[in-house]
Every structure is written in C-alpha cells, then in structure tokens.
C-alpha cells in the first residue's frame, strides 16, 4: 500500500513568492560557505543532506488531495482539493504507461471549497473512456454541480464526459470494494465531515481531516480513538496550535498537533502524518511545527513504542 500526497494545505491553496525563493537561496548559499562543492554530485549531496527541508524544498501549497495506491489497477483518492489537477495529469501518464486503467474512486471528507476545488480541472473527468465513483457522507454531486454552475465557472458538470456514480455513505458504513474495505465515520466540523479507515492485507490507513475533536466530548474523542485503533498510518488535521484550537479558533473545525499525538498514542497508531497546514504558515513555520510535534511525542510517550511523525508535503510518498 502506498500513500501519495498531492495537496496538503488547508482552507486555501497558497503559492510561494519570489521573496521566499530568494530567502531559501540565500540560506542555502550561506550554509554552503567553506564547503567543497566542485562537482554536481557534491552539490546534490549537500542539498539532500545538509539543508533543512524548509530550505531545500517546500511543503507546497495545494489544498487537500491524497492518493492511496492499493497495488491494483484503479486509482483511489481522498478529497478533490487543488492538488487533484496535478494528480489528474499524472494519472493519465500512468494509464498510458500501462498498469493502471481509468477507474477513479473518491472518498470525500466534506464539500467545503478547498476539498472540491480541483474537480473542474480534473482532466480525466472529461474523457468518456474513464469512470468515476464518488463516495461521501454528503450530497457531493450537489456541491460539484453548484461549484461549476453560473456564475462561478464556465464549464458545467454535465460537460464532463466520464461516467459518474455518486454514493452517499451512512455514518459507520463499511464498504467492501473487493480491492480494500473502507469504513466511514462522521466527525465534528461545520456541516459535518467524514473520516475514512482503509484496510487491505493487514495494513490500515486512516484519513481524518477537518475535524475538531473537543476534549470535553469524551464520547467522540474515545470513539475516534477506536476508529484509529492500531492504524499503520493516520493522516490527521493539525492545522492549529493547541492554544488556538481551544481558544480564539474554537469551533473553527480543526485540531492541533497536541491532540493528534495524544489520540495516536491512545490508539496505538504507528505513524502520524500531519496534514491540512495553515495557509498562513511558510515552510519554516511548518518545519518548526513538525519539529516541536516530534519533541512533544518524546515528552509524553507512554511506553517504548515511538510514534513516527511525518509532516505531509505535496509530493510526499509513504510506503506501508
């Protein structure tokens, strides 16, 4: 099983501007002072090994879109944020190269704009040879149709030629696709959101974004810990600091790195991927958040098992 992140930003896509790029170049050159970088390999090694990810790379700016590859010939996506556009082109390349066919299954957390905005630009949806199955706890067809209706977009949904099926799932429903099983769980968010627990061959991935797990709702808290129980990978909304999440941004519908680690510890999760990054944060701030979360896990670790913590970025691939 392989997970690839095509969009990891929350609320709104963002793009790095020239001043940030310049800042990274300056930092890299400062770090290169006195180093022997006479050949291309030495330069590549320096970039890969000696620079922080916030300098050598970027967490990206596309909104939520995560691919789960179960090793068969179909595509499975969580959400249709702006990252879906690039995925769409990549999927067509992979179909042309063989090994994949044009069958796409989507599992939608909810129809807020940042989670559906990539669909009008999803090239495979225009091709009658492909087919789409769109699952979710909401009426996703209504949301997509409205998004592409006048005056918001010039290409209505019905101009997209690939056959589409919409499947509204009930809270707690388990779907056996033949290739994997998936369970849906309603989560606390404005208008509700839904998390998904995917299982295949003894491996489990949980996609749980846009959820505000309030610590005084123990029923939800404990039920969600059970939903994440023993997962190999949990993709979790860590958009706000704990302080913000329970004060000025209370009821904004998102969680924190602190709650993520605590829940993962209690659920026996092996690997946490921090997700749905605050659009205001630049790469240095996201890296700081990641580093601090790793340190928090060390401080509160209940036993000897280490919770591995990644910070999702556009293009990250995790093999399970």
Rule CB under 8 A: choose which of 299, 303, 304, 319 binds another protein: 299
Q: What is the number of other CB atoms lying within 10 angstroms of the CB of residue 100?
A: 18
Q: Spell out the residues 6+ positions from residue 183 whose beta carbon is closer than 8 angstroms to its own.
A: 172, 173, 174, 175, 196, 197, 199, 227
> How far apart (Å, rounded) are the C-alpha atoms in residues 260 and 222?
13
SS3 for 201-232, per residue? CCEEEEEECCCCCCCCCHHHHHHHHHHCCCCC
Rule CB under 8 A: choose which of 52, 173, 192, 244 binds another protein: 244
Instruction: For residue 215, state whether it binds another protein (rule: CB under 8 A).
Output: yes
- Min separation Cβ 236 and another protein, Å: 13
Name the segment binding another protein (CB under 8 A); options: 34-42, 190-198, 201-209, 237-245: 237-245
Instruction: For residue 256, state whether it binds another protein (rule: CB under 8 A).
Output: yes
β 193-200/203-208 pair status? antiparallel
Long-range contacts at 303-310 (CB < 8 A, ≥ 24 apart): 305/268, 305/270, 307/261, 307/264, 307/265, 307/269, 307/270, 307/271, 307/272, 308/270, 308/271, 308/272, 309/261, 309/271, 309/272, 309/273, 309/274, 310/271, 310/272, 310/273, 310/274
Rule CB under 8 A: choose which of 241, 249, 279, 308 binds another protein: 241
Spatial contact of 260 and 312, defined as CB atoms under 8 Å apart: no
Rule CB under 8 A: choose which of 40, 97, 158, 216 binds another protein: 216
Rule CB under 8 A: choose which of 67, 79, 86, 262 binds another protein: 262
Instruction: Give the tokens for residue 260.
Output: 């993520």
Rule CB under 8 A: choose which of 131, 204, 293, 310 binds another protein: 293
Ranges of H-type helices in 117-195: 140-147
Question: Which residue, 18 or 299, is less far from another protein as judged by CB?
Answer: 299
Angle at 67 between CA 11 and CA 78, to 5 degrees: 50
Rule CB under 8 A: choose which of 296, 308, 316, 320 binds another protein: 296
Question: Which residue, 2 or 222, is less far from another protein as judged by CB?
Answer: 222
- Min separation Cβ 216 and another protein, Å: 7
Instruction: For residue 257, state whether it binds another protein (rule: CB under 8 A).
Output: yes
Which residues between 165 and 184 bind another protein (CB under 8 A)? none
Hey, CA dihedral for 211, 103, 116, 239, is it positive or negative? positive
- Min separation Cβ 267 and another protein, Å: 13
- Min separation Cβ 301 and another protein, Å: 10
Name the segment binding another protein (CB under 8 A); options: 9-17, 134-142, 149-157, 288-296: 288-296
- Min separation Cβ 240 and another protein, Å: 9
Instruction: Give the tokens for residue 33.
Output: 């002072």
The count of chain residues that interact with another protein, using the rule CB under 8 A, is 20
Binding site for another protein (CB under 8 A): 215-216, 241-244, 246-247, 256-259, 262, 266, 292-293, 295-296, 299-300
């Amino acid at each position: 099983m392989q997970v690839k992140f095509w969009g990891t930003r929350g609320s709104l896509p963002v793009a790095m501007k020239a001043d940030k790029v310049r800042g990274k170049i300056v930092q890299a050159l400062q770090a290169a002072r006195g180093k022997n970088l006479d050949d291309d390999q030495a330069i590549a090694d320096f970039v890969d090994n000696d620079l922080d990810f916030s300098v050598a790379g970027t967490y990206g700016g596309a909104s939520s879109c995560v691919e789960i590859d179960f090793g068969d010939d179909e595509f499975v996506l969580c959400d249709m944020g702006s990252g879906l556009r690039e995925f769409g082109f990549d999927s067509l390349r992979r179909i042309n190269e063989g090994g994949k066919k044009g069958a796409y299954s989507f599992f939608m957390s909810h129809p807020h704009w940042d989670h559906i905005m990539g669909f009008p630009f999803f090239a495979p949806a225009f091709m009658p040879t492909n087919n789409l199955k769109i699952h979710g706890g909401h009426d996703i067809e209504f949301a997509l149709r409205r998004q592409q209706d006048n005056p918001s977009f010039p290409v209505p949904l019905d101009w997209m030629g690939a056959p589409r099926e919409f499947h509204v799932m009930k809270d707690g429903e388990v779907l056996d696709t033949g290739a994997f099983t998936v369970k849906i769980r309603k989560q606390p968010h404005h208008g509700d959101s839904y998390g998904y627990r995917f299982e295949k061959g003894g491996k489990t991935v949980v996609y749980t974004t846009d959820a505000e797990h309030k610590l005084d709702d123990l029923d939800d808290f404990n039920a969600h810990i059970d939903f994440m129980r023993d997962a190999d990978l949990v993709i979790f909304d860590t958009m706000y600091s704990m302080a913000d999440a329970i004060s000025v941004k209370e009821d904004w519908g998102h969680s924190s790195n602190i709650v993520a680690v605590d829940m993962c510890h209690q659920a026996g999760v092996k690997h946490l991927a921090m997700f749905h990054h605050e659009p205001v944060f630049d790469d240095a701030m996201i890296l700081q958040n990641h580093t601090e979360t790793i340190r928090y896990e060390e401080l509160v670790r209940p036993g000897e098992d280490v919770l591995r913590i990644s910070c999702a970025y556009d293009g990250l691939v995790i093999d399970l």
